[in-house]
Amino acid sequence: MKVVIVGGVAGGATAAARIRRLDERAQIVVFERSGYVSYANCGLPYYIGGVIQDPAELTLQTPESFWRRFRIDMRVRHEVLAIHPAEKTVSVRDLTTGEEFEEHYDKLLLSPGARPARPELPGVEQDRLFTLRTVEDTLRIRRFVEQERPRSVVLAGGGFIGLEMAENLRELGLDVTIVQRPAQLMSPFDTEMASFLHAKLRQRGVKLLLGRTVEGFEQAQGAVRVRLKDEGTLTADMVVLAIGVVPDSHLAKEAGLELGIRDSILVDDRMETSAPDIYAVGDAVQVKHFVTGEDALVSLAGPANRQGRIAADNICGGDSRYPGPQGSSVLKVFDMTAAVTGINERTAKRAGIACDKVYLSPASHAGYYPGGRVMTMKVLFEKETFRLLGAQIVGYEGVDKRIDVLAAAIRAGMSALDLAELDLAYAPPYSSAKDPVNMAGFMIENLARGLVEQFHWDEVDALPRDGSIVLLDVRTGVEHLRGHLAGSVNVPVDELRARLGELPQGKPVYVVCQSALRSYLACRILAQEGFVCRHLAGGYRLYESVMLERAAAQRSFPCGMDRT
């Protein structure tokens, strides 16, 4: 059996090695357009920033190492020009010599990945504009930074690559501005959770111009002018386009393979395309989302690796199935960590899923052990069934641990109520006896049992201030003075029992504290004294974060940039 693989990196290289482990006699040929067949795609921004010093560290395998260990013929700088399904051949060009030839296959695996979206805007082809996909792109940016010593950069786009580039270039001392059309960075997160990321970036000196549209680029003397719709012009020494990726599916399209959303390659759960003996994996393929069952594009290394393994199994006569990704991912933003799994609230509503959520702000480990830091968690679940839908966490230490527990719970089909029963490891330096994941389960259990009701940050401003309700702040007087909801009265929770007579009977009580713990305790007191009570999910801390972000987003044009 001869297997030809188009593209290396995560999916293609993983599949090649797996095929060899399953079939010692298979002839395996991999064609990779770039000069590197297996490299640490996710590490590229950190080489630009100097965190990774040696470019060789980015190369996981070389053609020589693949041949020595697996006897796999890895041909870099070879571009596949066309696929001929009827003849079972591909047309290939050697980019070094210019030679073109035909290569026969018994099985073909497509792993072309995705290419950076490059909008058709005036001036987009000039030298000081960069995209980041390959090692060659990385070396070009690093060389430019070292030789030209740029002082400022505009990043168009605020996804994973945009934020990682923002951090690394800012750490090098550049003046960094992120511009994008959406009003929020990192679309996998909901608005209120992204507000913590926005605050961190601004704290570290990154300027955010969100909800703005780039209309084009103009060459200036040793710089680039970035024209914004109805906003004027930014001037920077360099521009990095990081507005997302699109499936690199032109070969499949030209070969007549069926395509899916955004021209992605359509595959079944065996990673088979519509053409016999042709498989496809990675960022270029359409998959079924594990949580919603809807068609999706998920450009992450983990799913690409798993798809490569599954395709290899099936190429070698097995019957492996891909159940779909759930989008588990984690991101470093300076000293902060942000992580997500499953779907967010926007996606649930778009899919017609009736969902509810809890927020909590636990410490990363036991409070009495030094060094603990607060994280903010949002856990989504389906109403009625309590099926886990997704989670988002922003914080510092321990974020990755909790998101992985929640990701495993979703994959295992556990309900949100089951989180309370998880037996998780505990020692004071690492966790609390009631782990944050357990705490999320306890909170959802309280909702299920009717022990408490919630209201949310986006309902606060619509609450009546005409005396028909009681808006009760149960924090300390000092906390209340530092900032509070307009119209709230302050009765600290520890004084509440003795001061119940100050609250008018018959009026609903909306209770607020800093993180929603004391407000829950207050609601339990009030409910047992005959009051109808709700508390603010996520507390004043979450509400304040969103409001501060909204205020920051409305401020003036960024300092240090030109406005014309």
Q: Is the C-alpha dihedral spanning 480, 484, 490, 496 positive or negative?
A: negative
Distance CA(414)–CA(404), nearest Å, equals 14
The three-class DSSP label of residue 167 is: helix
Instruction: Phi first, then psi: give them for residue 236, nearest 5 degrees.
Output: -145, 160
420 CB burial (10 A radius; 0-12, 13-18, 19+): middle
Q: Is the C-alpha dihedral spanning 9, 10, 12, 18 positive or negative?
A: positive
Bridge partner list, 388 = 381
Q: Is the C-alpha dihedral spanning 123, 125, 126, 128 positive or negative?
A: positive
453's CB contacts (< 8 A; 6+ apart) are: 447, 523, 533, 534, 535
Distance CA(213)–CA(121), nearest Å, equals 11
Give the containing element (helix H, strand E) for 302. helix 301-315
Q: Which residue in this structure is represented by tokens 């430019």?
A: 144
Q: Distances from the Cα of 44 to the Cαs of 50, 179, 397, 474, 489, in angstroms?
A: 10, 21, 24, 48, 52
Give the containing element (helix H, strand E) for 389. strand 388-395
Distance CA(517)–CA(540), nearest Å, equals 11
Q: Which residue in this structure is represented by tokens 């829950």?
A: 520
Catalytic residue among 42, 316, 513, 533: 42
Distance CA(194)–CA(562), nearest Å, equals 28
* Token pair listed for 470: 């009681």
CA–centroid distance for 432 within its chain: 27
* Token pair listed for 29: 């040929």
**Contact predicate 170/151, CB 8 Å:** no
Amino acid at 234: L
Instruction: Phi first, then psi: give them for residue 176, nearest 5 degrees.
Output: -115, 130
DSSP secondary structure string, 31-82? EESSS-SEE-GGGHHHHHTTSS--GGGGEEE-HHHHHHHH--EEEESEEEEE
Amino acid at 118: R
Determine how β-strand 207-210 pairs with β-strand 214-220: unpaired
Distance CA(309)–CA(12), nearest Å, equals 9
Distance CA(380)–CA(393), nearest Å, equals 12
Helices (H), 99-157: 135-148
Judge whether 42 counts as a catalytic residue. Answer: yes
So which residues are the catalytic ones?
Answer: 42
